[in-house]
Amino acid sequence: MCGIIGYIGTQRAAPLIIDGLKNLEYRGYDSAGIAVLQTSELFVKKDTGKIAEVFSEKDLETIEGNIGIAHSRWATHGGVTKENSHPHLSNDGNTAVVHNGIIENYQELRKFLTENGFVFKSQTDTEVIPNLIQYFMQQGTSFMDSIKLAVKKLEGSYALAIINKNAKKLVAIRKESPLVIGVADHGYFVASDVPSFLDQTKKVVYLYENDMAVLNDKMEFFNIKDNLPVVRKIDNIEWNVEQAKKGNFEHFMLKEISEQADAIKLAISQDEKQIKEVADAIMHAKGIYFVACGTSYHACLSASYKFAKLANKHVNVALASEFPNYKDFIVPDSLVIALSQSGETADVLEAVKAAKEKGARVISLVNVVGSSLTRYSDETLMQNAGPEICVLATKSYTSQLAILTLLAYALAGKYEEGKNKLKELVNSIYYLTSTNTREHIKQLAERLRYVNHIYLIGRDLQYPTAMEAALKIKEVSYIHAEGFAGGELKHGTIALIEPGTPCIVFTSSENEKKILSNATELKARGAYIIGVGPNNNELFDFFIKVRESGEANSICQIIPIQILAYQLAILRGCDPDKPRNLAKSVTVK
C-alpha cells in the first residue's frame, strides 16, 4: 500500500518525482525517500515523516540527475524507521529499488544471502531484492538478466522500480500490485497511480500481470514468466489536473464530499444497453455474489436489500477476504459482482481469481480505468467518479450505490423510473453538501469532539448506512464508533449505553415507528440522540434533516455523517486526508 514513482528523461528527475510523490502520499506517509543517478553515482535521501518533512525546497533545486525513483511508505515489514524507508540499496551501493507489495519468502532469501556474505541494514522484505540482483551480477550476469533471475526467486506481490548506477535505464515490474507508465514529451514516468504525473501527461500504459517495462529513450515490454516481448498500447486519461488537486478546499476529503452531486450525475450516465445487459445476467445467473471490502462491502450490503425489495432477487454478500469459504458453491452459471474503487484491492482480486477458476462470470464495478480488476473481469461498469485522493471513500461510495440502485431498478424492469429518481436526488445532495448544512453539523461536531464512543443504529436500508457511517467516524477521527441494526440493541449493545452516550439514529418513512421505538430504549438509558432522516421528533437532542428518498436514502443519508466525520477530525487535530495506519489502496492481503 505504498506509493512509488520513477522518471527517466531529459528533465531533472528530483523535482518531478518529489512532486509526484506528494500526489501519491495518500498511499503511504510513514516515511519517504529518493534515489537519483548523478553521473555514475546514486544520490539517496530518505527518512521517516511526511514527504514535506523529508524533502525541502533546496532538495528540489540542488539534486541533479535525469533518472530517479522515489517512495512513500506504509509500513508492513519492519517498523517506521529511517533504515526501513525506501529506496533500498544493494550492499555494493550500485542498485536501488523501491517496492510496493510483500515478498512472502523474504526470510528464506535473506538467510540465503546472509550465508553468502550479504549484510542487511533494515528489517524490510524489500532489501532482499537489490541484494539478489547484486548476487547474480557477481556471477557475471548482466544487470537486466540479474533482475529477471532475482524476480523469479520472489514469492508474493510486488510493484518495483529499479535503477543501477552503471545502466541508463529505469526498470519497472509488476505482479499483483498496481503500476502504470506515463508517457510525456520529455521522458517516461512509472508510478503506482495516475495522479502522480497527471500534470505532466495524460498518456499512459497500463502494465499487466508479470509485465516488465524497460525505459530509456524508448519503451520495451516483456513478460517475466516466459521472457518474451509483449506489446502494450498507450491510452489517454480523461481525468484532468484540476480534478486531482484540492483547489480552494483545505482538504481532499471535503472537496470530494462536495463533489458528490456531480459524481452521482456521472455515475448514472451509464450506457443503458450495458446496464440492462448486466441486469439480464443477474436475472439468469444461478447464484449471485457481491464481493468487496470495507466501504464497498457496505455498498454491496445495501444493494442486496434493494435487489430483494425492488426485483425480488436474492444476492449473496461476501467480504472478499472471506470469499474462499463460498468457493465450493461457485459453478459456471454463478455470477460474481466485484466492487473496488481502485480495482487493485488484493483480497478482491484473490476472490475474483477463485471465482474464475470455478468458471464463474465476473462483472466488476471500478473507478480506475486499466486497473487489475478491469482486466480480470468479463465485463466492467465504470463508476466515473473521477480521482478520489483522500484515503476515506466518500464520493466513490455514493457512486457505487447509485449504479447498484440503477441496476436494481433495471432488474425490476423499471430502468427509467430508477434513473429519474436518482436524477431528482441530485438537488438534495447539493443541499446536504452546502455551507449551511456543514455549519449545522459543525455544531454537533463541537458537542461530540471529546466523546470516546458513538453508536449508530438503523433498520432496513439504514442498517448498512449505520455501518458505513460508523466506519467513516472511526477511520478519520479515531473515535470508537459502531453501527448496528436497531433490533439488535437488546441483544447486548444496550448494555454499553450510559448517560450522555451519543447515538445516531437513521430513520425513514417506512421504518420510522420501529426505529423510534429503539431510540426510546436508548433515551431511557440517558443516551444523547441524534436523528438523521425526514422528520424531527421529540426524542432527538439534535436533528439533521435529510429528505425522504425511498430506495435512494442510502445515498443521501450517509453524506451528513461524512461531513460530521470530517469536522470531528479537524476539531481533534487529525489529518482527514491521511488517517493514521491507513492507506488508500489495500494492495496487500
Interval 525-576: pLDDT, tens: 999 999 999 999 999 999 999 999 999 999 999 999 999 999 999 999 999 9
- Tell me the mean pLDDT in the region 394-412: 96
Would the pLDDT of 134 be above 90? yes
> How sure is the predictor about 245, in pLDDT bands with cuts at 50, 70 and 90?
low
Cell of 282: 443477474
SS3 128: helix
- Tell me the mean pLDDT in the region 215-238: 90
Q: Residue for cell digits 510493484?
A: 159
Which CATH topology does 434-589 take?
Answer: Rossmann fold (3.40.50)
**What pLDDT, on a 0 to 100 scale, did the predictor assign at position 423?**
92
Provide CB contacts within 8 A for 115, sequence distance 6+: none
CA distance 284 to 268: 23
Task: Convert 371-427 into a string of H (helix), E (strand) and C (coil).
Answer: CHHHHHCCEEEECCCCCCCCCCCCHHHHHHHHHHHHHHHHHCCCHHHHHHHHHHHHH
Tens digit of each residue's pLDDT (9 = 90 or more) over 166-176: 999 999 999 88
SS3 178: coil
Length of the chain equals 589
Tens digit of each residue's pLDDT (9 = 90 or more) over 5-17: 999 999 999 999 9
Q: Are 177 and 350 in contact (CB under 8 A)?
A: no
Q: b/e string for 49-60 if b means 16 or more Cβ within 10 A?
A: ebbeebbeeeee
Q: Of 49, 44, 66, 55, which is closest to residue 18 (Cα–Cα)? A: 55
Q: Hey, do 246-432 and 434-589 end up sharing a CATH topology, with the first three levels equal?
A: yes
CA distance 148 to 48: 31
Tens digit of each residue's pLDDT (9 = 90 or more) over 415-471: 999 999 999 998 889 999 998 999 999 999 999 999 999 999 999 999 999 999 999
Tens digit of each residue's pLDDT (9 = 90 or more) over 289-335: 999 999 999 999 999 999 999 999 999 999 999 998 888 899 999 99
Q: Are 521 and 489 in contact (CB under 8 A)?
A: yes
DSSP 93: S
Q: Of 88, 71, 34, which is closest to residue 196 (Cα–Cα)? A: 71
Q: What Rg, from alpha-carbon coordinates, does the chain have?
A: 25
CA distance 232 to 525: 63
**Strand-pair category, 31-38 with 41-48:** antiparallel
420 forms bridges with which residues in the sheet?
A: none
* Count of CB atoms situated within 10 Å of the CB of 82: 14
Q: Are 161 and 172 in contact (CB under 8 A)?
A: yes
> How sure is the predictor about 588, in pLDDT bands with cuts at 50, 70 and 90?
low
Question: Long-range pairs for 113-118 at CB < 8 Å and ≥24 separation?
Answer: 118/91
**What pLDDT, on a 0 to 100 scale, did the predictor assign at position 586?**
62
Q: What mean pLDDT, rounded, does the chain reach?
A: 91
- Tell me the mean pLDDT in the region 270-299: 95
**What pLDDT, on a 0 to 100 scale, did the predictor assign at position 61?**
76
CA distance 339 to 348: 8
- Tell me the mean pLDDT in the region 106-111: 95
Q: Are 12 and 65 in contact (CB under 8 A)?
A: yes
Task: Give the up-direction half-sphere exposure of residue 115: CA atoms within 13 A in the CB hemisphere.
Answer: 6
Would the pLDDT of 587 be above 60? no
Cell of 248: 480552494
**Which CATH homologous superfamily contains domain 246-432?**
Glucose-6-phosphate isomerase like protein; domain 1 (3.40.50.10490)
CA distance 232 to 209: 12
- Tell me the mean pLDDT in the region 15-39: 84
CA distance 201 to 185: 8
Phi and psi at residue 33, to the nearest 5°: -165, 165
* Count of CB atoms situated within 10 Å of the CB of 310: 21
**What pLDDT, on a 0 to 100 scale, did the predictor assign at position 565?**
97
Every domain of the chain and the residues it spans? 3-242, 246-432, 434-589
Q: Of 310, 294, 262, 274, which is closest to residue 552 (Cα–Cα)? A: 310
CA distance 42 to 135: 19
Q: b/e string for 29-46 if b means 16 or more Cβ within 10 A?
A: bbbbbbbbbbeeebbbbb
Provide CB contacts within 8 A for 242, sequence distance 6+: none
> How sure is the predictor about 32, in pLDDT bands with cuts at 50, 70 and 90?
confident
Q: Are 14 and 65 in contact (CB under 8 A)?
A: yes
Q: Residue for cell digits 466488476?
A: 364
Cell of 207: 502494465
CATH number listed for the domain at residues 3-242 = 3.60.20.10
47 forms bridges with which residues in the sheet?
A: 32
> How sure is the predictor about 345, in pLDDT bands with cuts at 50, 70 and 90?
confident
Q: Of 358, 362, 319, 313, which is closest to residue 337 (Cα–Cα)? A: 362
Which carries the bigger pLDDT value, residue 520 or residue 1? 520
**What pLDDT, on a 0 to 100 scale, did the predictor assign at position 557?**
97
> Which helix (H) or strand (E) segment is 84 a member of?
none
Which carries the bigger pLDDT value, residue 333 or residue 488? 333
Q: Of 167, 212, 204, which is closest to residue 184 (Cα–Cα)? A: 204
Tens digit of each residue's pLDDT (9 = 90 or more) over 194-213: 888 988 998 999 998 899 99
- Tell me the mean pLDDT in the region 136-152: 95
**What pLDDT, on a 0 to 100 scale, did the predictor assign at position 142?**
95
CA distance 32 to 21: 9
Cell of 263: 459524481
- Tell me the mean pLDDT in the region 353-357: 94
**What pLDDT, on a 0 to 100 scale, did the predictor assign at position 35?**
94
> How sure is the predictor about 475, in pLDDT bands with cuts at 50, 70 and 90?
very high
Phi and psi at residue 70, to the nearest 5°: -150, 165
Q: Residue for cell digits 465450493?
A: 328
Q: Of 46, 38, 39, which is closest to residue 18 (Cα–Cα)? A: 46
CA distance 492 to 56: 53
CA distance 125 to 102: 7
Catalytic residue IDs: 2, 584
